[in-house]
Structures are given as C-alpha cells and as structure tokens.
Structure 1
C-alpha cells in the first residue's frame, strides 16, 4: 500500500500553493500597471469587514513559514508583516518559497510523532498531533487565504480561472501547456 509522505503533504503542497499565489501576484501587478492603478489591488477586499488582499498573501506566507518552524523545530525569528505593495508581496512569497526549499524530507522524520502547540483564535493554546495540525489547521488555513486572494482578484476583474489556481497542484501528472 502506498503512503503519503509528511514532506509532500506539507512542504510540497505549501510550495504549490505559494507558487499559485506568486502567479496571481504577477497577474495582479500586470493588471494594476495596465490600468494605471498603483497598488490598488493590495488593499482590495471582498467585503468591508474582511482582511485585504495583502493580508491574505501575508497570512498564506506565514502558514508556510510556521509549518517549517513547527515541524523542523527551527527558530526562524519574526517576519514583520509590513509589506504593502504588490512588489513587496511578491518578494515575501518568494522568501517563503526559498525557505521551503531549505527543508529536506529527513528534516521531518521526527515530526510525525510529535505534538504541535497551536493558538486557535482567542482560545488558549491547544495540543494537536502533527496530523491534526497539518490536515485540520495549517493546510485548510493556507487554502482559505489562497482562495480568498483568488476571489478578491476575480472580483476586481482579473482574468483568472480554475487553471490559474490548480496548475501547480497538478503539474506532476498534468504538465501545463507550453508558453506561447
């Protein structure tokens, strides 16, 4: 019976999600430039009481970083969430992708048997198995913020479709068409 590795489930999936975010950011930059709207998309929201696009990007980045910290027990220090422009957001996502590239499968060998302490909203920190943390907390949050960022850009008129969202996730078995 085949198994799914913790590395592919965490680092692999997070990398694909952040590559998708990076592609969306590049399209957002091109859209803003074409419409002469400096940084307008960075503060766009789906609804007034929701966080803006830039926050969706930063939170997705933070989930990638936090997975590395928790699962490898590395201390990575604070990354200030002060990126405000699309260019700064691109650099932040690239920084996270570069961090994910530093993790090797063997770095996660001990993580499966560990528990993770997570702060869930206003609740006191809770203990979760690594499986609970990854499958029930980290990845759902990463996908929520990626999907919300996608929704904001669609609402603002960017020509994005399902292929823009899914391409990096299916690239191993369904390579993207050649660029023209």
Structure 2
C-alpha cells in the first residue's frame, strides 16, 4: 500500500496554502476598497476575511503543535489590517520552516484530541486528524477567503488558487 509522507501532506500543503494567501493579500492590498476588505464577509453570519486568514494560520500552527509535539507560543489573533495579516502569514511560514520531516515521525500511529467548535472533544488517529479535520478546515477557510475577494471584484481565477499547490510540478529544470 502506498503512503503519503506526513510532512508533505501537512507542512507542505500548509506552506502552499499560506503562499496562496500571501498572493491573495497582495492583490487585496491593490484593490480600491483595500481599507475595508479585512472585515468583509461572504454572508452576514459568516466570519470576515481577516478571520479566514487567521484560521488558516491557526490550523497550520496546530498541525505543528500536535504532530511535531511542540508547544508554540500563543498568538493573539488580533490582526485586522491587510498588512497585519501579511505579517501573520509570514510568521506562520517562518514557524513551518522550523519543522523537519523527522519531527513528524513520532506522530504516526498516535491519537490526537481535537476540539471541534462547540462540539465535544474527540479522539482521532493522526491520519483522521489530518485528512478528516485539519486539511478540510484549512481548505475551507482558504476557499472562503478567495470567495470573499472574488465577491468584491478582484480578478482571480482557479490558477490563483492552485498556483502554489502545483508549483512542485512545474519547477524549472536544473541547469547543466
């Protein structure tokens, strides 16, 4: 049976999602309504753009804590401007750079206790946590952030969303 390395499916995917967010944030900063985009919601009862960014960051951070067995300092989640959100995404990328493949080896086969919003805590295997909880949430909030910007008229397409995820396929050939 083939397996996908835990590092690639967590840290690698999180890196791609965060780089996508950086691209989206840079496009948002150039928008005429840039000053108000951070508080824009797709629908009145949904969380604003700024919170979508923070949640993607927090899921990446939580994967480091849970899977690498590290305690990471508490981040305040108080970023409100596009520049503050860019800094937050960069801070998360810097955290991910500190994780090595070997750091995740011990997580395989372990269980994770996860709190799912207002629901009770649940026990999950590492693969259940990654595939059934962490990654779906990361992609959901990344997609909502993308959707908010599209709703506000930013010229974005599927390529803007997938660019970093596909980057491993299209690396420049090594020079001879």
- TM-score, normalized by length of structure 1? 0.92
Give the corresponding residue for 1:114: 110
- Secondary structure of 1:81 counterpart: coil
In the aligned structure 2, how far is the partner of 1:3 from the partner of 1:109?
Answer: 13
Give the corresponding residue for 1:17: 17
| In the alignment, structure 1 residue 8 sits paired with structure 2 residue 4 | no
| In the alignment, structure 1 residue 104 sits paired with structure 2 residue 100 | yes
| In the alignment, structure 1 residue 77 sits paired with structure 2 residue 73 | yes
In the aligned structure 1, how far is the partner of 2:171 from the partner of 2:143?
Answer: 22
Following TM superposition, the consecutive aligned residue runs of length 4 or more in structure 1 with deviations greater than 3 angstroms are none
Give the corresponding residue for 2:142: 146
In the aligned structure 1, how far is the partner of 2:34 from the partner of 2:149?
Answer: 15
Query: How many residues end up aligned between the 2 structures?
Result: 172
Give the corresponding residue for 2:120: 124
In the aligned structure 2, how far is the partner of 1:50 from the partner of 1:103?
Answer: 32
Q: Give the superposed CA RMSD.
A: 1.3
- Secondary structure of 2:43 counterpart: coil
CA contact (8 A) 2:28 2:34 kept: no
Give the corresponding residue for 1:133: 129
- Secondary structure of 1:126 counterpart: strand
Q: Deviations over 1:24-50 (max 9, x none)?
A: 00100011xxx2x35210001111111
Which of residues 168, 173, 176 is equivalent to 1:172?
168
Gaps of 5+ in 1: none
In the aligned structure 2, how far is the partner of 1:81 from the partner of 1:3?
Answer: 35
| In the alignment, structure 1 residue 54 sits paired with structure 2 residue 72 | no
- TM-score, normalized by length of structure 2? 0.94
Gaps of 5+ in 2: none
In the aligned structure 2, how far is the partner of 1:95 from the partner of 1:30?
Answer: 22
Which of residues 150, 156, 162 is equivalent to 1:160?
156
